[in-house]
Structures are given as structure tokens and as C-alpha cells.
């Protein structure tokens, strides 16, 4: 029932995305430049939470727009109703619903659905990762210099040494292609599917990474923080790769090696 609820909730959110996409809707701004939230975000989140509450009224919920619905439960649903809101607001079909299910502090199930491309990613702990019910695996690339990478930049720039721009420059100056799609959940899923060899970002929130993180790992990839430490969805920095370029990327990111 947990899986079926996750699938129904994800599709309910996606239906709202499609209902509003390229139509008129209200847009407002959160903290930071271009950190948008739309009427569709709220509608998608409401639809998702309604499905979850109907099935599991006692489960804890953490959602991007409405915050936490705290319950004394070992289960927590971590929800991004539209990951890639800026894309959505500009009519760019790279956005998705992203939901991770946490049990006793561990992500055990995940779904990411881009309804524009009809790509539904799903993973369950220990049971593999899937795209539209077909198993997926990370790429085989073993050299960072030959990799295709993807990243994102925070809306409020982190003014720190070795920040997003500096790391981006390390790769692109050596001719490594680094894309920016505007949706961390899609970035992670595309690493899982072998389209990208690695993804890194400096400032993600739990709803950005909770689902994609598990999907990458279940596809055979590796996810850590930028120093190579164990990853938690409750810290901001993430490096997700096919596993084969992971150590080399950590060395480059942390100025221990040049490509």
C-alpha cells in the first residue's frame, strides 16, 4: 500500500502541473532573487498531501511550500510539488514532482515524475531503480575528463571559498561539459539513468534530494557530500556520480588534483 500511495500521490501532483502548465497562474517570490513559487506549486502540493493523508493520516509530512505536518510516526514523506519551478514558470518542460519516503531516518522509497516527458522514475531500497518500469543503471565512464556533468547554482549565492562558480570553472576550463537543467531531482535521475556521469550542487534542501538520492544509489551510483562523507538529505551539499569518477571528482572539487 505504501508504494501504491506513493505512485498515486506523485501522479496527482503531476496532474496539477499539467493543468497549469503554459496557462495563466499566479507567481510570487520567496527569499532570494528568482526563487519563485506559483499557484501550481500549491495546487500540486495540496493534491499530493490529500492522497497521503487519506491513506496514512498519522504519517509525518515535510513539504517545500507548507512546511512540516508533525506526527509521532516512524514514517516521513518529503515532498517537492514542483522541482524546477523557474522552468515551469517560463514554460520549460523540465520540471517534476519529487517525493521521498523516509522510515526511521532512512529513505526507503522514491518517485520522481516529469509528466511533460512522461518519465516516471521509481526506486525502493534494495530493489533497484526504474524508469517507466524498466530497470536503469548508471554509466560506465571512468574518467572525469571524458564525463558529462550537471550542476545547479543556488538562488542566494553562497559567498564562500571554492563556491559554485569556482568549481564550475575547474571543469569547463578543461573542456568538461557541465549542463544546468534547473531541476536537481531530474539531474539526479538522469545520473541514475546514465545520461549524466555526475552531478554536484552546493545548496539543496531535503525535498530537492530525498527521492533522487535513493534512485541514484539503487541504480548503482554513489552519493556523498562534496568531501566524500556519508550523505544526508538534511545537509546542503551533494555529489552524485556513477561511482567510477566519484573519488576523482572529490579531489578536483577540493583542490587536491587538476584535470
- Which CATH number goes with the domain that contains 101? 3.30.540.10
The answer to whether residues 29 and 129 belong to one domain is: yes
Active-site annotation holds for 64: yes
Distances (CA, A) of 229 to 185, 197, 222, 240, 250: 21, 19, 11, 12, 10
198 and 178 fall within a common domain: yes
Q: Are both 86 and 197 inside the same structural domain?
A: no
Could you confirm whether 58 is annotated as catalytic?
Answer: no
Instruction: Read off the pLDDT of residues 145-190 as tens digits, 9 standing for 90 and up.
Output: 999 999 998 876 667 788 898 999 999 999 999 999 999 999 999 9
Nearest alpha-carbon partner for 180 in 94, 255, 81, 110:
94
pLDDT tens digit sequence for 220-245: 999 999 999 999 999 999 999 999 99
* Co-location of 69 and 194 in the same domain: no
Residues 29 and 52 in one domain: yes
Active site residue 80: yes
Handedness of CA 249, 250, 251, 256 (dihedral sign): positive
Same domain assignment for residues 116 and 196: no
16 part of the active site: no
Domain count, the chain: 2
The domain boundary, picked from 72, 107, 135, lies at 135
Asked if the structure places residue 149 within a domain, the reply is: yes
Looking at the fold, whether 85 and 170 belong to one and the same domain comes out as no
Catalytic residue among 41, 45, 197, 208: 208
Whether residue 89 sits in one domain with residue 193: no
pTM for the model: 0.94
* Residue 228 belongs to domain spanning: 144-253
pLDDT score for 80 = 97
97 and 177 together in one domain: no
Spans of the chain, pLDDT less than 70:
25-37, 156-158
Answer whether residue 153 is part of any domain.
Answer: yes
Q: Check if 83 is active-site.
A: yes
Instruction: Specify the pLDDT at position 202.
Output: 93
Q: Which of the following is catalytic: 16, 64, 201, 248?
A: 64
Amino acid at each position: 500500500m505504501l508504494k501504491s500511495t506513493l505512485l498515486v500521490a506523485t501522479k496527482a501532483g503531476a496532474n496539477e502541473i499539467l493543468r497549469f502548465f503554459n496557462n495563466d497562474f499566479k507567481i510570487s517570490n520567496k527569499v532570494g532573487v528568482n526563487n519563485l513559487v506559483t499557484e501550481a506549486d500549491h495546487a500540486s502540493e495540496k493534491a499530493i498531501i490529500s492522497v497521503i493523508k487519506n491513506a496514512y493520516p498519522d504519517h509525518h509530512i515535510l513539504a517545500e511550500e507548507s512546511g512540516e505536518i508533525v506526527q509521532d510516526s516512524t514514517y516521513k514523506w518529503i515532498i517537492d510539488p514542483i522541482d524546477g519551478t523557474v522552468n515551469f514558470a517560463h514554460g520549460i518542460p523540465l520540471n517534476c514532482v519529487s517525493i521521498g519516503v523516509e522510515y526511521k531516518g532512512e529513505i526507503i522509497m522514491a518517485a520522481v515524475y516529469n509528466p511533460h516527458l512522461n518519465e516516471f522514475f521509481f526506486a525502493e531500497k534494495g530493489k533497484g531503480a526504474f524508469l517507466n518500469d524498466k530497470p536503469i543503471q548508471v554509466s560506465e565512464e571512468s574518467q572525469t575528463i571524458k564525463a558529462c556533468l550537471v550542476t545547479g547554482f543556488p538562488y542566494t549565492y553562497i559567498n564562500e571559498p571554492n563556491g559554485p562558480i569556482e568549481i564550475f570553472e575547474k571543469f569547463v576550463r578543461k573542456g568538461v561539459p557541465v549542463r544546468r537543467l534547473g531541476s536537481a531531482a531530474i539531474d539526479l535521475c538522469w545520473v541514475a539513468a546514465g545520461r549524466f556521469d555526475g552531478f554536484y550542487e552546493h545548496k539543496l534542501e531535503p525535498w530537492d534530494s530525498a527521492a533522487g538520492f535513493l534512485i541514484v544509489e539503487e541504480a548503482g551510483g554513489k552519493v556523498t557530500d562534496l568531501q566524500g562523507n556519508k550523505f544526508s538529505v538534511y545537509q546542503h551539499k551533494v555529489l552524485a556520480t556513477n561511482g567510477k569518477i566519484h573519488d576523482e571528482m572529490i579531489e578536483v572539487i577540493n583542490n587536491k588534483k587538476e584535470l
